[in-house]
Amino acid sequence: MKRRFVTLDVFTDAALAGNPLAIVEEAEGLDTAQMQAIAREFNLSETVFLFPPRRPDHEAQLRIFTPAGEIPFAGHPTIGTAIHLATTRHGPGFEGRLVLGEKAGPVPVRVWSESGRMRAELTAPVLPEQGTVVPTRSDCAAALGLEEDDLGRLVPQLWRGGPGFLFIELASLDALARARPIQPTFDALMSRVGELGAYVFTAGEDCDFQARMFAPAENMPEDPATGSATAILAGPLVGQGRVGEGETVFRLRQGVEMGRPSDLVLRIEVEGGQLRAAHVAGCAVPVMRGEIDLPGL
């Protein structure tokens, strides 16, 4: 059986930038091992497999795989899949709300057209929770090939919201550009804190934050855009008192150092000093379309 696939570049309004995503459109009949093998073949940060919805108010059920394993939720697969389904099933001018079923739970996504490009905004399916392990600044600096003075004012900390990340604020764009995983120090730190990825960020010049995400243990030396980590960033920002009451919008850039600039928007809702919702928005553009034609699939 031939199975159709498409690829999109997500968190960008131009092809060959942003974070590439593969979507296998007809995944019924594939088992976990087969989906994992296909994700390894694409070798992108994530591949989505589409299944019929489990509930009548859902658009589709998603399973999301990195080259190394399945994950419960991810931002750029959610944004890219919502835009793909909106345009192919409902037309390029569609504006409305879709709900995608993911392992982390139902993910509502608002889709609309703006300046000739399709945009989508997801609502994180779970609120971020802080981890209990507190890594030292010196260990974090060493794992990134930096000095302690290169780190910013946020205490390095773990946060989870489906996937989990070690969040490390840096003091400058220069430090961000110099950051890189130093082995075996980086993997040793990730093993101690119990996470696979480090999200490092600093104040940007034409955006609020510029970021990078390293997860070499996930076969992801660096990710061009990490929507899930962007949503989870709401946790440490609110926890450190850097977001006021009501709604706050941050614009973020990622992937610059990789030559795949990505633009993300984080919208945070705070009520009574507590995080109530985190939303991540961005564009996606189609790039390729084809068929998987392998015996037994």
CA-to-CA distance for 108 and 106, rounded, in angstroms?
Answer: 6
Cα distances from 7 to residues 16, 23, 119, 177, 290, in angstroms, run: 11, 6, 16, 29, 9
CA dihedral 127, 202, 45, 133 (to 10 degrees): -50
Cα–Cα dist 287/296, whole Å: 27
CB-based contact 208:242 (threshold 8 Å): no
The answer to whether 165 and 229 have CB atoms below 8 angstroms apart is: yes
Task: Tell me, yes or no, if the two domains 3-124+283-292 and 129-279 fold the same way.
Answer: yes
Q: Which helix (H) or strand (E) holds 229?
A: helix 227-232
- The answer to whether residues 135 and 143 touch, using CB atoms and an 8 Å cutoff, is no
User: Residue 188 has what pLDDT?
Assistant: 96
Q: Of the residues 46, 59, 102, 218, which is catalytic?
A: 46
Known catalytic residue: 26?
no
> In what helix (H) or strand (E) does residue 193 lie, and over which residues does it extend?
helix 185-193
| Count of Cβ atoms closer than 10 Å to residue 74 Cβ | 29
296, HSE (Cβ side, Cα atoms, 13 Å)? 6
Contact 156, 188 (CB under 8 A): no
User: Under 8 Å CB-to-CB from 18, ≥6 apart: which residues?
Assistant: 9, 10, 11, 12, 76, 224, 225, 255, 260, 261, 262, 263, 282, 283, 284, 285
Tell me the C-alpha distance between 142 and 214, whole Å: 14
Q: Which residue ranges make up each domain of the chain? A: 3-124+283-292, 129-279
Query: Superfamily assignment of 129-279 in CATH?
Result: Diaminopimelate Epimerase; Chain A, domain 1 (3.10.310.10)
Q: How many CB atoms lie within 10 A of CB 246?
A: 9
Q: What architecture is domain 3-124+283-292?
A: Roll (3.10)
What pLDDT is stored for residue 2 in this prediction? 87
> What confidence score (pLDDT) does residue 20 get?
98
Give me the phi and psi of 32, to 5 degrees please: -60, -45
Q: How many angstroms separate the CA atoms of 199 and 123, rounded?
A: 20
Task: Label residue 217 exposed, middle or buried (CB < 10 Å: 0-12, 13-18, 19+).
Answer: middle
DSSP H/E element including 250: strand 246-254
Digits of tens for pLDDT over the chain (297 positions)? 789 999 999 999 999 999 999 999 989 999 999 999 999 999 999 999 999 999 999 999 999 999 999 999 999 999 999 999 999 999 888 999 999 999 999 999 999 998 889 999 999 999 999 999 999 999 999 999 999 999 999 899 999 998 999 999 999 999 999 999 999 999 999 999 998 799 999 999 999 999 999 999 888 899 999 999 999 999 999 999 999 999 999 999 999 999 999 999 999 999 999 999 999 999 999 999 999 998 877
